[in-house]
Every structure is written in C-alpha cells, then in structure tokens.
Structure 1
Amino acid sequence: MSEKLEIIKEKPYPLGCYIDYDKSLVVRTVFEGDKNCGIALYKGTSNDGETALKIKLPKSLKRGSIYAARIKGISNVDEYSSYNYFVDSTYFCDSYAKHLIGLETFGLDVPDCDIRAKLDNRSTLKASEYSFDWENDSFPEVPYEDSFVYLLHVRGFTKSSGSGVPAQHRGTFLGILDKIPYLKSIGVTTVEIMPAIEMNEIETPRTHGGILSKELLYSKDGSISNTNSIKPRLNFWGYKKGFYFAPRTAYCSNPYDAENEFKFFIKTMHANGLEVIMQFFFEESENESLIIDALRYWRCSYHVDGFHLKGARIPIRLITKEPLFSDAKIWYDWFEDGPVPSKRYLAIYNNSFLYAGRRFLKSDDNSAGDFFHAMIANGNTHGVINYICDYEGFRLSDLVSYEHKHNEENGENNKDGTDNNLSWNCGIEGRTRKQSILELRKKQVKNILTMLLLAQGTPMIFSGDEFCSSQGGNNNPYCQDNETGWVDWKALEKNTEIFEYFKFLIRFRFEHNILHNASAFKLMDYISCGYPDLSCHGREAWRPDFTGHSHILGMLYCGKYDKDDKNSPFIYVCYNMYWMKEEIALPKLPDGLRWKMISDTERVDKIDSIEKKDKAVEKMSERSVRIYMSEIDPDNKSKRKLKRK
C-alpha cells in the first residue's frame, strides 16, 4: 500500500462499511481474536490482487471485538465498487453487507473468495436506502381474524413455464407482483416468504481437477449438469447461514439493483393491501445482536410487515420487547406469558392443528376431541396460525395419495424427511387411474380444506395446495430446483372442482364473522339468546361424542353472537370421518327458521341447487363434510299469520 492514509477512530455502531460524504471510508466490523486484519477494496468484480487496495486496521481502533475506523486519503475512492475483509491470508464477506456481488445467478458454484460486498457510496446516493421514493407507503395491518396467509417460495412460486408470468420475471419478486390479481382473487391478505436473504445455495463448493468450478450446475429448467459426474448439494429452500441484511439477488429480475427492486416489491404489495411476512432462519451459533440488528434493518429499510422466526436459539423475549417491533407481526412456535399488548401482533405457528386435522381426516381413534380443540383454538393476546401442510412434509394432494415418503431423488437413500406423515393414500400408493380412488382423494382434499378454512385462528396454505400441485410423494424437496419443487400451475386446469370449492370456502368464511372471531369462543349462552356462541352435537342434538371410537362431530355457530349483525344466520358444520355412513342430528332452530344444506363434499352440485332440510336427523355419506345454514321458513311464517287472524 503506497498511499498515505489517515486512519482515525469512529463510533462503533452501526456496523457496516460505506464511503461517506467527505470521501472517507467508514469501516465498522467485528474481528475475533488478535490477528492481523483489515479491508480489501476492489475496482471491479475480479479477484485480481493487483486491483485491490489492502488496508490493515490498527488494534488501537478496537473496542471489545469491534474495529471502528474512518479512513481518509484514499485516491479516487469512488472508483472502488466492492470490498472484503481479511484476517491474515483469509478473505471473507461482510456479514452486515447490504448488497453482494457474485451470487446473481441461481445455482452457480461461487467460491467464498469471489463473493464481495457492494460498497455504498453515500455521496452519490446510488442504490442506498435514502434514494428510494416510498411515497405514501403504509402497513396494511390486517387483523389476524381477517387474515388469510399464503406461504410461498419466491423462485418456486413462478418458475414453472405454466405460471403465466413473463419469462424475465419467473422465479423473482416481480413474478410475485405479476400474480397479485390471482392472490387477491382467492382472498389472500398476507404473503409469507420463505428465506429470501442473500446466500450461496451450493452447500459445499466442489472442485473439478483441483480448480474451483464456476459452471452453472443447475440449468434454467432445473436439470443438473453432469460435469465430471459431480452432483453438488443444492439448498433450494434456503434454510442455512446467509447474509442477513441483503435481499437475494438471484430472486431479482435486475440483480444489480436488488435493494430498490425489493423495495418496489414491498411498496407494490402494500398498495394492493397485501402484507409481506419474511421467514428468517438463524443458526444456533448466530449472535443475538446480529439477529436483532438484521430484523431492525428489514423493518426500517424495507418496510416488511413482520417476521416468522425459525431456529434453535432465537432471542424471542428480546425481540418481542424491542420497541421497534411493537407493531410488527412476529410469528414463532411459542411465547412466554407476559403483559397483554394493546394490539395482537404476536402469533403462534400452530402445528397442533396439522396433527389433529390429519388424524381426524384419516379416521384415527381418539382424534375427535383433539380435532375439536384445534378447530376452536384462538388467542386473546396473540394470533394462532393454522395449517395442514407446510413446506416440510407432504403437499395437500400428496397427503391423500401417499402413505410413505418417496425422496429417492434427493440422493440420501430416502432417509431424509419425516416418517410421521399421518397420511392415507385412499387405497393405492401414488398415481392411479382408478376412478373410485381419485374421487375419494378429491373428497378428502375438500374435507381437509373445510377443516382449515372454517377453523378459528388464521388459515395458512402453501402455494399450489389450493389446486393440488403435487411433489410426487417427495416430502422433503429442499434440494429440488425443478418441477418437483416448483408450483405446478397446470394442475389448476386439472383440478377446477377443488379450486372452486376452495374459493367458496374462502368467501363463506369471510362473509360470516362468527367463523373468524377476534377472541376465543366461550361455549356458553352469555347473551341469553337460548344458544351458546358455539355448541357441539353428534347422533343426538346437544350430545357430542368424544369417545375414542368417535369419528363424527357437528359444530353449531350461533349468528346472534355476530357483533356487526345480530340477525346473522346459524351455521352448522357436520363432519363424518368414519368409513361408513353415519347419522347426525340437526339441532332445532328458533321458530321461523329452517335448515338449508349449502355444501356437501360428497356431491358436486352447485350451491344454489342443494335442497332444504326439515328433518331432525340426517344420514351422511362416509368421509364427508356438510355445511348447513339457517334461512327463514316461509311455511312457518304463514302459519303464524293464520294464528293471529
């Protein structure tokens, strides 16, 4: 280093590196130990040592483990576009980097030494957090009781050619924007995104003849190249260590302006009333202060609506007490008891609904009671996110088509993925042309969708499950950047009956407040109307059967408890998950009302063609769900008039 530099102390926070307005370089970073360390600046993207300016940081700048320096006197400092840190002869990227260079192409095997942090030049305000015009952006803040969550993988959601997304947008944030009309048409309020931070998806970079490969190992159609018969391990899902402050450049149509593209994505989603929840996975060894700093950055700089936190050692207590997050949605597996917040922003990701719903669906004994409790689970101080299928485990269509995982193509001898799928294949494993099996599977999908979308709490569905996109029995496609791991949009045309039923359920749920309450049911008549807010029934009215061998349940929702409309109808949902026909009671309604059956998963009739019901007991088909709704009885009304005369 021939330049005469002036290196002075700086305040140690916030961590990061940038060129300041006075053309000085500000460096704040953590170096453990007591070795020679510093920063290397680059004018281009190559790793040619002759183009790097290497600056050693004196130990006198160290406070704790943080080196904080302002470096003055760098000639033509604006010509430097990227940097790396070094300790002795080892070079590595800044963990606080806001934009990285080298990971723009998904599936490219990039050596760690070729990954660089982009240098932010604040004097030009290019690609910085100060240059984007957010206009009147605001958080939608949809209450949990009015929310419908749609979980997706950014690349997998629109990568398929059948997605209807322009080729240049497939697999990107802009591809999601192209699908906004679809998302709104099915009632989505909140989009949850699997990890979308910057990372190298190749788990272990491979060498070819002693030379680090830069060949594109995964082609655009998802196939794996056979270079020297080496198959690298690809982490398609993204649950691994990454750069927690930078959006994924490979998910951008213009990866060299990832910051502004992601901000445009959030701004457009908000303009359409859609929330964005980011999943963050942190390894057990991750520093707690880094976790808090990263979440703060995404909340402030990118206006995300909240976070679903995953990992073994999340400082959840600190996060929930962080003032900046008092109005951010935080999702986690559990929360400690504490003061009740003024609004419900916390939510539990409720996997107990998954287990209870799946067991009841496949007619397990001792499941009716657990199913009922899962259906009414709701939090007064926090939300409850319900789901039947997640990214882990079987997709919804595979849940009724496979009893065993089929993960051979993952390359781990089918040993990966859970064996506890709680699934039933309806009689034949996997694909079949047998019509009776296909009809039963269709009915089971409708049954489980009814459970999910008529449960209290907030429903979440994994992208493509609404029209039975399949993974071919693979219950752990974490490495499948291909048709297995992507949403199969062609399935939408093949499964229109299920998709239409799904849309009916969404409409029905949000048309009736009693089906999506803000608080838990009390299971009692606390307004003295003659009916509890929710009551259970079985073969006999008011006598539910929760014994070990019971597979039927009737749930009566009293519309008189609707805060907005006391004349809302009664709704009665009957579940028969037994493998034989069963009788179930129709509870008596107040005078002047009668039951009308509006849906039966056994049938494909249009809703308006289903007949009225006047019986006290109905016989239900095996493995079916019915929905009844009260209506005015014109015959009863005319009788009352005659009596008055």
Structure 2
Amino acid sequence: MDRVRPGGAAAERNGGRGGKVRPAPTRPVWPGAPTPLGARFRVGPDGVAGTNFALWAGGAEAVDLCLFDADGTETRCPLTELTHEIWHGFVPGVRPGQRYGYRVHGRWDPWTGARFNPAKLLLDPYARAVDAGPGQDYGSLPPEVYGHVRDWPQQHVADTVRDDRDSAPFVPKGVVVHDDAPDDEWADDRRPKTPWADSVLYELHVRGFTMRHPDVPEPLRGTYAGLAHPAAIDHLVRLGVTAVELLPVHQFAHEDHLLRRGLRNYWGYNSIGYFAPHAAYAASGTTGQQVGEFRRMVRALHEAGIEVILDVVYNHTAEAGEMGPTLSLKGVDNHAYYHLQEDARRYADYTGCGNTLHVVRPQVLRLITDSLRYWVSEMGVDGFRFDLAAALARSFHDVDMLSPFLAVIAQDPVLRRVKLIAEPWDVGSGGYQVGAFPPLWTEWNDRYRDAVRDFWRGALPDVRDLGYRLSGSSDLYAWGGRRPYASVNFVTAHDGFTLRDLVSYEQKHNEANGEGNRDGADDNRAWNCGAEGETDDAGVLALRRRQLRNLLTTLLLSTGVPMLVAGDEMGRTQGGNNNAYCQDNGVSWVDWGLRDDPAWSGLLALARRLIALRHRHPVLRRRAFFSGRAHSADGLRDLAWFTARGTEMTEADWYAPAATLGMYLSGRDIPGRDARGAQVTDDSFLAVLHGAERAAAFTLPGPPWADAYEVVVDTAREEQGDAPGTLLAAGTSVTVEARSALLLRAVPAPAA
C-alpha cells in the first residue's frame, strides 16, 4: 500500500529531509567481517585503525551506515557486503567516540509486517553506547520519529502510510566504543560470588538512590559514579545486603504520552539498547564514557562484597505497537524481530507495552544471549532479574518451559553460572507461572507477598498458606532438585506501595501520574491502621511503626531469599502512589533525611540487626527444605508448628481461623557441611507471629524443644537494644502484645 506522504519522491531518493547530508561517501568502505555484530574498533595487522560494522537485517534490500560529525553532518556509507543476512563493512579511520546509525531499505508493506523506511535513522541493536542527543528534551516525540504518518486524517489506516521525513536529528545514535581500552580500575575486579542461600537482595534505582544523598557530591548524584561513591556503598555495607538489584540500566526511551504530560519514564522498563548503559545515568559523558563509569561502579560494589544484578527487559522494546515510533528493530526487520498476529499489521502483545520480541527466532535469541553474555563477561555483572519472564518462555503462543530461550540459558557456559531471577508472569493468557520455572532459576514469589500482607492486616482465613511461605514455599519449589532459595521473598517491590505506604494507605493515590488515578493496582492488600495517609494521631503512628517492624521481621526470618526495596528500611514514602514509574522527583527518590529522623532510626537499626542475625545463623537461610521428621528418639524435628496453647498444630488447626502462629526452627542438624567438612549446627529459634488486635497468651513449648528461651526480637518495642534479652522458662505463658512478633532463641540448644 502506498499513498501520498510528506517528503514525496525526492525525499525517498535522498532518504528523507531534515539533516545535513554529504551527497556521496567520503570514506572508503572495505569488506570487513560479518562477526561480531555491532561496531568494533580495531587495529589491523597492517596497522590501519578503523571500525568494523555488522548488522543483521534479513529482509533488507540495502543498508546505509550513517556517520555523524559533532555538528550533526551526516555521511552515508553503503554497506555492500552481505553474508548470511548480515550487512557488514570496515571503515578505516573511524575511531571510538564516533556517532553512527543505520538506514535500512526494503519494502513498505505493513499488511505483511514489512515496515522498512530509509528515512528513519535506526539505532544499532548492538551499540555498546548511546548518545541520546537533544531528542530526549522534546515535550513530545516529534512526528519524524514515526515510520508512518502519525497525523494522517484517517487514523484507522495511519500506520500504513509511510512518512518520509528524516528522523536523524531527533533520535538516539550509537557510539563506537574502544572495547579493548586499558582500564586498570577494572582489570583486578573480584566477584563476590555469594551463594544463593546466603543472599539478601536490595532493589534500587541508580538515579533515585543518590539524588538526595547529602554525602554524595552533587555532580555525581543520580549517576553510576554516585552509586559507586563511598557514602552510598557505606549504607549498603552497614545494612548487610549482599546484592543490589538495579532497575533497568539498558538504554531506554520515554513514551510520548508521558512527555506530553511533562513526565518521564523513571523506572526504565522501555529498553531500546540492550548493550548500552543508560546514558543519562553517566556523570562523565555520553560518547562512550558511560561504559567505563558503569564498570568502575561494578568494581567498587564488588570491592565491598556486593554483587550487581540487573533488571532486564528483553520481552518488549520502546517501539510499542503499530502506532509506536521507529527507533531500531522495527526498521531493521519488523517481521523478524517482533511477534506479530495472524494479521501481520498488528503486534502480539503479551507484555501490555504494545509489542513482544519473538524470542523463538534465532536472530532474536542471539541478540538477547549476546547481550547477557556481554554484561557478564565485559561489564562484570553477577546476574539478572528478567522482567515478565513468561513472555520470553512463549515458543509461539503458549508459555513453554522447554522453550528455546530457557534451553539456551540452561546450556550456556557463561549464563548458567550467574544468578537468574524470573518475574514468572506476563499479561497474556496462561502467563502466570509462579513455581513453574526450571532448575537454575529463582523466582519472585508473589504468593509470599500476598500471604504476609494478608496475615498482618488480618485478612487470612487460616494459616495454611502462611506456613508454606514462611518455610520456603516447598509446595511451589520442591521439585526438580530446586531449593528453598528458588523463592525470592518480598513484601514490596518498585511496583506498588512502599513498605511505609502499605501501612498508611488502603487506596492508591496516583493523581500526579496524570491518568485520573486509573493506573496502578487496585488490589494492594494494604491496611492504613485507622487513617488514610499522613496523620498526627500518635496511636495510629505507633501502630504503623509496629506493623513495619512486623513485616520486616517476617521477611528476614523467612526461609528463601529476602528482597528489600531501597528506602523501606528507613520509612520511605511515595505519598500513596503505587505506580510511580513516571515520577522522576522526590516522590521516588530515597529521602536520606529519614536516616537520622528519630521516628525511623529504630526501623533502620532493626533491619541491620535482623540481616546480621540472618548472616550469623544458617538455620535462618537453609539450603534444603525442611523434612519435618524427628532427628532422634526425643522427637525433636527440624521444623515444628505450635498453637498459642504451646501444643503442636494438628491438621484441624491449619484449617481453623487463627491469629497466632509459632514456628520452631531447629539448628541441631542443618543439611550441609562447613568449610572443614563438619556437620553444620546452629542455635534453635522459636518465632511467634501474632496478628490480632488484642494481646494474647502464648505457652512456650517445653522439652525436647527447649529448657528456656531468650528474647532476641520483640516488635512491640520501638527500640530493640543489643544486650541479651530476657530469659523465659519453657512451659510458661508469655504475653504477646497486639499485632507483634517475637523471636526467641532456645536456651540451651538441645543436645543430640
């Protein structure tokens, strides 16, 4: 289908209008090599320095490499070599720092999925760095960045009418990077390699974590260098976390609907460059400097014993659906890269973002795995959390745990050795896959989140589900050799209420997002403790702080891998916004003033204490599921459950409404051996969770469980203190305050 369009025939011949173009290439183009893909600077054996460019574009009829000078002047160099659908060429004299892009020629036929348009400058999918340029400053995406005529009067066919205006002045460009440049700060990097069972994850945003940090120099705030600053790392070390899970740092773009409202995509789940660190997070520059700055950040975190895990978005790109912009893959080969419907003009959308990458295709699978290996091998990262991972496991339509993506990851010698975390769902039919991912993978366990939230707000009908969640979710993960650490336990994440807001609001308050408060989840399983939002009521505020201590204590005592969200440990609030993806401001940034606020310093101290306790006691971070069987003739088991009467729970007790639950963890014989090969033993603990609005009596189990108990944590207290707690005789009744938790150490630990 072809219609009259802006630019006309002359524009088509010239590749569009809008930029200064040299009429003929002024650089020689040698044949070069088809591998590796992307732009690779090198010095040949003949001493000639230059850059090899290689682009997979299977359906293309021609490809132009476009080089840009500092003033925006464009030089077009046709790539005439074609090997196995890869267009390639070596350009002498092109050095690191050179900005570039591609124009890909081919059929314009949206009805069959072909959307080639040489007027649109395309970002190299393998670009190692991206210079976003001035396009990020527009109040909306200019019409030139769309492959179709966006303002065509007949909207129902607008995406079928090609736009021939030049997009080059308005779109991000790739930057040639010196991959082999010496970097002494990176050469001696040592990865921490923390075992999964010992891990404590900390989800943070590179920009938001340091934007308000008073001890980070202002020019470094909100950058990779800011996160690498000793003041930022000191907080992580003192807290005791073992890994940071960074919200997306791949180069991403802002959606037009946000720009029109004066907002930005803050979270970054809108990737466009899978090899490039997001340029806006670099303090040192955007023409390649961001690569070295990211590496130095990783090295600084590694020196502190902290692993770096990236939240990655390989399920969709920033090009959205048929009405979205043309920035990269859509113009390189739309039909090959994206999952299209039977009507190939439309996109299959399993992500809720307009498109889904067609991971079954070899070139798409190669793009993803090449990117993953690059971040591990050359950028030093230690693992990945895969956004909407179920979409990656769809072979064609259904989720398939034998899909090519999962099979390739399982056998890859690099990727199978790093930490792999799935967000085990997408928005398509059959997309909820919690507990279904194969061995090697861990998963965000939203059933843990829901059960813990419901218990502490008094909404659980019984404690059956809570028992599974506290003890490692064996009902979900005890198959295929998986271990308790397959469950990433969390109460909050970036998506939703903060921990403080979870106990301060029952309704979302997303008005600032400009969508009429329609966005964000409505089912928050939250309880505001008697008042919606901020209040001066001292009783409500005290109850909220207690609930925060309850939630934090439950999370850090549960079997599995705990994940905290940056700022939750000191009472960060988003004012009730449960979808702050577009709030690049104080709503989302960590408020470091809370660290020294007397109202919240006790919560931070408790978080540090609980994490330290977890690190000291292997019984709290088991590597194998509990068996529930007796160790010996005395009847002591590795896990036991108790009612408030001090009796072991029967089957009927699990089904009965209950607000009090006792969980006994035996440290006598923990599966595994220490560094000297000896059997691991530890203290034993009794955790008592009481979610009722009135205090209750709890009878402490007697022998063989313990002779006495020492109070380690009592969430009814604002300050916990570091001295040994009160000793309580076994068999006696203790008062558990309303909505509180107790952690008791068995004294002495029962002898074998």
Normalising to structure 1: TM-score of the pair? Answer: 0.85
Deviation at 1:393, TM superposition (A): 0.7
Task: Report the identity percentage.
Answer: 28
2:247 to 194, 197, 205: 194
Contact 2:27 2:77 in 1 (8 A): no
Deviation at 1:620, TM superposition (A): 1.8
Residues 71-470 of structure 1 correspond to what in structure 2 (within 5 A)?
Answer: 71=91, 77-78=94-95, 81-87=98-104, 88-103=118-133, 113-114=168-169, 115-120=172-177, 127-133=178-184, 134-160=186-212, 162-178=213-229, 179-201=232-254, 203=256, 231-256=261-286, 257-282=289-314, 283=316, 284-285=356-357, 287-311=364-388, 313-314=391-392, 315-332=405-422, 333=424, 346-377=441-472, 381-382=482-483, 383=485, 384-470=487-573
Contact 2:25 2:76 in 1 (8 A): no
Matched, 1:571 2:685: yes
Contact 2:241 2:611 in 1 (8 A): no
Deviation at 1:67, TM superposition (A): 1.0
Give the structure 2 partner of residue 53 of structure 1: 75
Structure 2 unmatched runs, 5+: 1-22, 105-117, 146-167, 317-355, 359-363, 393-404, 425-433
Contact 2:24 2:75 in 1 (8 A): no
SS at 1:470's partner residue? Answer: coil
Give the structure 1 partner of residue 87 of structure 2: 67
Contact 2:130 2:175 in 1 (8 A): yes
Structure 1 unmatched runs, 5+: 121-126, 207-229, 634-645
Give the structure 2 partner of residue 224 of structure 1: none
Give the structure 2 partner of residue 627 of structure 1: 743
- Give, in whole Å, the separation in 2 of the partners of 1:79 and 1:235: 29
- Give, in whole Å, the separation in 2 of the partners of 1:465 and 1:157: 12
Deviation at 1:186, TM superposition (A): 0.9
- Give, in whole Å, the separation in 2 of the partners of 1:159 and 1:395: 18
Contact 1:37 1:85 in 2 (8 A): yes
Deviation at 1:588, TM superposition (A): 0.5
SS at 1:385's partner residue? Answer: strand
Contact 1:43 1:80 in 2 (8 A): no
- Give, in whole Å, the separation in 1 of the partners of 2:290 and 2:523: 40
Residues 512-591 of structure 1 correspond to what in structure 2 (within 5 A)?
Answer: 512-528=617-633, 530-544=635-649, 545-562=653-670, 568-590=682-704
Describe the shift of the 1:442–1:80 C-alpha distance in structure 2 as closer, same or farther (beyond 3 A).
closer
SS at 1:373's partner residue? Answer: helix
SS at 1:546's partner residue? Answer: helix
SS at 2:539's partner residue? Answer: helix
Describe the shift of the 1:451–1:166 C-alpha distance in structure 2 as closer, same or farther (beyond 3 A).
same
Give the structure 2 partner of residue 220 of structure 1: none
Deviation at 1:27, TM superposition (A): 1.9
Normalising to structure 2: TM-score of the pair? Answer: 0.74
SS at 2:417's partner residue? Answer: coil
- Give, in whole Å, the separation in 1 of the partners of 2:717 and 2:564: 24
Q: Deviations over 1:425-448 (max 9, x none)?
A: 011100101011011111111111
SS at 1:326's partner residue? Answer: helix
Describe the shift of the 1:240–1:590 C-alpha distance in structure 2 as closer, same or farther (beyond 3 A).
same
- Give, in whole Å, the separation in 2 of the partners of 1:182 and 1:52: 47
Deviation at 1:70, TM superposition (A): 3.3
Describe the shift of the 1:609–1:337 C-alpha distance in structure 2 as closer, same or farther (beyond 3 A).
closer
Matched, 1:508 2:613: yes
Q: In structure 2, what residue type is equivalent to 1:395?
A: T
Q: Deviations over 1:457-514 (max 9, x none)?
A: 1111000000110000000000001110111111222201211222221122222211
Contact 1:107 1:202 in 2 (8 A): no
SS at 2:87's partner residue? Answer: strand
- Give, in whole Å, the separation in 1 of the partners of 2:574 and 2:258: 27
Contact 1:43 1:79 in 2 (8 A): no
Describe the shift of the 1:632–1:85 C-alpha distance in structure 2 as closer, same or farther (beyond 3 A).
closer
Matched, 1:471 2:574: yes
Q: In structure 1, what residue type is equivalent to 2:267?
A: W
Give the structure 2 partner of residue 17 of structure 1: 39
- Give, in whole Å, the separation in 2 of the partners of 1:79 and 1:139: 28
Contact 1:203 1:233 in 2 (8 A): no
Q: Deviations over 1:371-391 (max 9, x none)?
A: 110011166535321110000
- Give, in whole Å, the separation in 1 of the partners of 2:549 and 2:524: 19
Contact 1:453 1:459 in 2 (8 A): yes
- Give, in whole Å, the separation in 1 of the partners of 2:133 and 2:460: 51
SS at 1:331's partner residue? Answer: strand
- Give, in whole Å, the separation in 2 of the partners of 1:38 and 1:417: 43
Contact 1:27 1:70 in 2 (8 A): yes
Deviation at 1:530, TM superposition (A): 3.2
Equivalent residues, number? 590
Describe the shift of the 1:486–1:2 C-alpha distance in structure 2 as closer, same or farther (beyond 3 A).
closer
Give the structure 2 partner of residue 599 of structure 1: 713
- Give, in whole Å, the separation in 1 of the partners of 2:63 and 2:680: 71
SS at 2:580's partner residue? Answer: coil
Contact 2:669 2:681 in 1 (8 A): no
Give the structure 1 partner of residue 18 of structure 2: none
Contact 2:50 2:95 in 1 (8 A): no
